[in-house]
Structure 1
Amino acid sequence: MRTKIIYIIAIFIATLNLSCDSYLDLKPEDGTIREEFWKTKEDVRAAVIGIYSAMLTTPPSESDLTLSEYIFMYGELRGDMVSPGGFMSDDQVDMITSNILPSNDLTTWSQFYRIINYCNTVIDLAPGVLANDPTLTQTQLNNYLSEVLAIRAYLYFTLARSFKDVPLKLTATLSDQDNFQIPTTPQADVFKQVVIDLTKAEGFAIEDYGTNAENKGRVTKHTINAMLTDVYLWQENYEAALVTADKVINSGDFALIDGSLQWFTTVFARGNSTESIFELQYTTQNLNPFYSIFLQRPQYLAAPAVLEGVFGIDFEDALNKDFRGERASLVPGTNEIYKYTGLNQEQRKSLQESDTHWFVYRYADVLLMKAEALNELSRGEESLAIVDLIREKRNAINETAQQLSFEDKDGIRLYILAERSREFAFEGKRWFDILRNSRKENYAYLNILLGIALQSAPANQQQSITTKLKDSNSHYLPINENELFTNKALVQNPFYK
């Protein structure tokens, strides 16, 4: 079928342009696209690795953004740590000021659903290869399906956190005759499906591919348990979150690196460190998009208050600094976002070296998610011990420390949220962290979101912003008007009607 052939070609073109890393080098020996695709285990592997390629790149014939750019925008622009750069578009300005309309091009979810359809295609068609290629074992097939199920789950998880109710399609679109009129599924049901997929994937997942690049750049059992921990927090299933977090922690495969001048280079500039769980693997053959959007033609800057307000400044000892702040997350004075362009604390990478990865899950994320779950279960002493461990490793300064009672659940909740802002600055997590904490217990903690939003709001807009944010539907993006036009089964988020 025409759509299927286009899909296969897109997968191979994306893959061939990816990199020279051995586990991503998928060019067929004859250099051609084979008509008899889905016949051999090599075809299955090529399709699966092609999905990773699609997560890194945009289709060659389209001008869409990369997945990491969307995740950055959805996770950061509605938070409080990013300001407009000189080259920010009107749509980006509208998102950062929460003046978002259905006509905003950034609300398109086509990149997500394109990759979801790639995943669905593998899930639907790869099992048929067992009958054609006796060298493909059920175990190998299950391993591949585990990766694809986890990627699909992560994409749906991100969509549901960004848009709330979204179409949930679990079968491949393989022809123009397939049904495109699909209504949205409630957010809670999307989360349930994500847990179903991840739980199934965890049972088939690989722990060790044999190389460090694959262990960090492909989905492993640890990746899946990190994702499950995240989803469980959104479901307020804190006991389950502890179980999956401990699976990662107790594996012994990860460790925080002692803070030093080399910490930034090891974790971010080089990537794939002992702190890494899952990173999208940009390379010098497939450069990341960040050099342009943060440095050459900056679309985004760190908000002016970030250095002092988030990381703190020791005015008595200028050398006493949180390792995560100056020349790690940002550059003082210019407020340049540095995390994706820096080589070390003195030098940036060149454009030709801009291969810093996109960090989906790091070990510190699992630790702080565990701390969050412990606190919600009234185990404040254990929760604070994790926060203290991370602060010690990062040389967090006294100006950002808090002395809290173990029983002060509200105070610990805010302390963890603040620590996450330091640890994951500009990694596409800030807005999701604010929203997740605010919506706990049916929005019992809405004041978290309101307080953060009003800190930087002009005085003459504070009342209107408060009124808007009291409507929980405003916390999610609108369905793009083009999606509404092509899919008549969709109903717009009521806040944007």
Structure 2
Amino acid sequence: MKKYLLFIMSGMLMTSCLDTIVLPKDIIIDEDYWQNREQAQAMVNGAYKQMVTDAVVKRMIVWGDYRSDEMNYETVQDLSGNSVWADLQKISLGNIDSDNQFSVWSDVYSVINKCNIVLEKAPGVVSIDPAYTMETFNTDKSQMLALRSLCYFYLVRAYRDVPFTTVAYLNSSQDRNVAQSAPADVLDRCISDLEEALKSPISSSGYNDWRRVGIITEDGIKAILADIHLWKASVMHSEDDYRKCIQYCDDIIASKKAASLAGDGGFGPGASTTSEYPLIGTTFARRELFVIGNSSESIFELQMTGTNDVSTAIKDMYFVIDKKNFGAVMATKIFGTIGSESGDNATVYTTNMDNRYLENCYGVGDADASAFDIRKMVDANPNEFAPSDTKRDPYKLSAHNASAVNRPTLDRYGQNWIVYRLADIMLMKAEALVQLAADGALTADDDNLTEAFNLVDAVNRRSLAKLDDANVLKISSYTDKESMEQLVLCERQRELCFEGKRWFDLMRYNYRHITPVDYTKTMFDISGDTYNEDLFPSNYSGFTNLVRRKYLENGVAIMAKMGREPFLYFPVPNSDMKVNPLLHQNPAYSEGDKYVKN
């Protein structure tokens, strides 16, 4: 049974000084509070609980996915007056400003502050309560360092230049004005913290219940490290970071393989597709991953109860908003038909024998539909798809079908939010391998490209209802480094759509194909407070062409507003700019603090 991590602290108060940090009530910081193991670990649990809140999960969706070619705001029904929908519409139209609710970073900094409080206050408990041993503290420390690093990694990818602090803000009298750091500095600090966390991690096989993936274990730490190194490698064109990404991916794959062979990898009957890559078998994959959750394939996922609905993010975004039977966003037209993964009319899926085609969206196959309701993570029906077309047809539910029997009831809505899982790691490794391959045509001894293809092929085969020549991937179709890079990008979209990955995937793709940017400097260091486009490289046309696929009209004009690096990031929140004199606005938003309106 899914469980929330215990959270026994009092509520939190916003301060009047700086919205960056949400301070706890005095009971949390009073010296009388930090007296025993239960109190220390309650604060650890509280950091996880803050991570699962509505505001944080929505930002994972919007920052990591919504700006990509996968999603657009709900266009079929009227949601005027809903603030979430209104701000999503502004983002899609290129009219982001610093008052947009998704420009606000305070909820993520609240998680960071809770981690900092544990790291500062918990060591004192070791000398007070014998039950709170140094070993216990070290495992708590490992989790807090990892969770804090994950939060900073999200912030860097969303804003680029962000304040970095390890200070525990305990009361409103503290000076909390912190300047932004260059993104390379923040990521290097995260890597250092994660390497420290690996000295005393929770074993990935240490639990056999929800905690195996509901807290950050050794595999979870390595997943964050792999992700950060892949990002750094793409932005800074660093082969060494690609190699480190591969190293951590290999460690995780080996760990999952060992767990599979030992029979203690998780829950459910999902037999692995291969012994080399212990993915859940085709028949059970959707049910185990997205309906039951905490699967053997999972590495770290945020735990939802389905009863309290403390976080309504997935429900509001994908399923029901304002008591209407549709979410604030819809999947774009590229998910609705079968076609090619390249060319002007490229689609996500190339065969209707790919189970994900039917599993991820409602109403696919409707030639008249311009967008589709998202099914992934909000369909609680555990039934599997049959391999024949005739038996698969009933699952093609119409968009906005309120009476669809496959829809979950709201009183038991509890699908988890998956942060990392094995297929993601395999495809990270494939991406890094491709970038280390030699330019030019694929040769028989090109081990990097061959291994990258095998990783993609294993993920792809797991989802195919028929493993025949017409449906399986063929290495002969991908003849060089460029085509293999496209294959990995396409497979990541097929496998990980709507999981908060696509925008970051596209940003890495963009960075790899432009002049290397100086990530050791903030944008203010580069350009000052005034935007000078000559100081920032143009974004890659292949990147902008992919993002433009989401737009039914005016795509060229909207993408023209995203021509250079600063526009890929959100503005610094206006509430923080007003009170922290050390902050500098992203120069793309410095004139009038807004994009030019349509």
Alignment gaps of 5+ in structure 2: 1-7, 13-27, 234-240, 260-264, 266-277, 322-326, 338-345, 384-394, 396-405, 438-447, 517-538, 591-598
Matches within 5 A, 1:65-464: 65-85=54-74, 86=77, 87=79, 89-207=85-203, 208-236=205-233, 237-251=241-255, 252-253=258-259, 255-260=278-283, 262-287=284-309, 288-289=311-312, 290-297=314-321, 298-308=327-337, 309-312=346-349, 314=351, 320-332=352-364, 333=366, 335-344=372-381, 347-378=406-437, 379-395=448-464, 401=473, 403=475, 408-440=480-512, 442-443=514-515, 446-457=540-551, 462=556, 464=557
| Contact 2:306/2:415 (8 A) holds in 1 | no
- How far does residue 228 in structure 1 lie from its aligned partner after superposition? 0.5
- How far does residue 341 in structure 1 lie from its aligned partner after superposition? 1.4
- How far does residue 104 in structure 1 lie from its aligned partner after superposition? 1.3
| Contact 1:82/1:303 (8 A) holds in 2 | yes
1:180 is paired with a residue whose SS is: coil
Alpha-carbon distance in 2 for matches of 1:456, 1:53: 34
Q: Which stretch has the larger CA shift, 204-213 or 122-131? A: 204-213
1:477 is the counterpart of 2:570: yes
1:321 is paired with a residue whose SS is: coil
User: In structure 1, what residue type is equivalent to 2:485?
Assistant: R
Q: Name the counterpart of 1:53.
A: 49
Q: 1:485 to 1:46 in 2, by over 3 A?
A: same
Q: 1:351 to 1:459 in 2, by over 3 A?
A: closer
- How far does residue 101 in structure 1 lie from its aligned partner after superposition? 1.2
Alpha-carbon distance in 2 for matches of 1:387, 1:476: 29
Greater radius of gyration (CA): 2
TM-score, length basis structure 2 = 0.72
- How far does residue 203 in structure 1 lie from its aligned partner after superposition? 1.4
Q: Which stretch has the larger CA shift, 129-138 or 429-438? A: 129-138
- How far does residue 131 in structure 1 lie from its aligned partner after superposition? 1.6
| Contact 1:164/1:187 (8 A) holds in 2 | yes
| Contact 1:163/1:477 (8 A) holds in 2 | yes
Once the two structures are superposed, what CA deviation does each residue of 1:63-89 show, in whole Å capped at 9, x if it has no partner? xx4311110011112100112213362
- How far does residue 212 in structure 1 lie from its aligned partner after superposition? 2.4
Alignment gaps of 5+ in structure 1: 1-6, 12-31, 58-64, 315-319
- How far does residue 267 in structure 1 lie from its aligned partner after superposition? 1.0
Q: Name the counterpart of 1:10.
A: 11
| Contact 2:300/2:420 (8 A) holds in 1 | yes
| Contact 2:334/2:549 (8 A) holds in 1 | no
Q: Which stretch has the larger CA shift, 368-377 or 203-212? A: 203-212
Once the two structures are superposed, what CA deviation does each residue of 1:281-314 show, in whole Å capped at 9, x if it has no partner? 1013333512343222320111122232544364
2:420 is paired with a residue whose SS is: strand
User: In structure 1, what residue type is equivalent to 2:433?
Assistant: L
1:157 is paired with a residue whose SS is: helix
Q: 1:330 to 1:146 in 2, by over 3 A?
A: farther
| Contact 2:231/2:508 (8 A) holds in 1 | yes
The percent of aligned pairs where both chains have the same amino acid is 30
- How far does residue 174 in structure 1 lie from its aligned partner after superposition? 1.0
Q: 1:128 to 1:329 in 2, by over 3 A?
A: farther
Alpha-carbon distance in 2 for matches of 1:383, 1:365: 13
Alpha-carbon distance in 1 for matches of 2:166, 2:30: 26
Q: 1:400 to 1:494 in 2, by over 3 A?
A: farther
- How far does residue 238 in structure 1 lie from its aligned partner after superposition? 0.8
- How far does residue 210 in structure 1 lie from its aligned partner after superposition? 2.3
1:359 is paired with a residue whose SS is: strand
| Contact 1:78/1:98 (8 A) holds in 2 | no
| Contact 1:329/1:337 (8 A) holds in 2 | yes
Aligned residues: 457
- How far does residue 263 in structure 1 lie from its aligned partner after superposition? 2.2
TM-score, length basis structure 1 = 0.86
Q: 1:396 to 1:76 in 2, by over 3 A?
A: farther
1:38 is paired with a residue whose SS is: coil
- How far does residue 98 in structure 1 lie from its aligned partner after superposition? 2.6
Determine which structure has the larger helix proportion and give its number: 1
- How far does residue 110 in structure 1 lie from its aligned partner after superposition? 0.7
| Contact 2:206/2:212 (8 A) holds in 1 | yes
Alpha-carbon distance in 1 for matches of 2:349, 2:188: 39
Alpha-carbon distance in 1 for matches of 2:491, 2:555: 28
Q: Which stretch has the larger CA shift, 149-158 or 90-99? A: 90-99
1:136 is paired with a residue whose SS is: coil
Alpha-carbon distance in 2 for matches of 1:354, 1:110: 27
Alpha-carbon distance in 2 for matches of 1:460, 1:299: 21
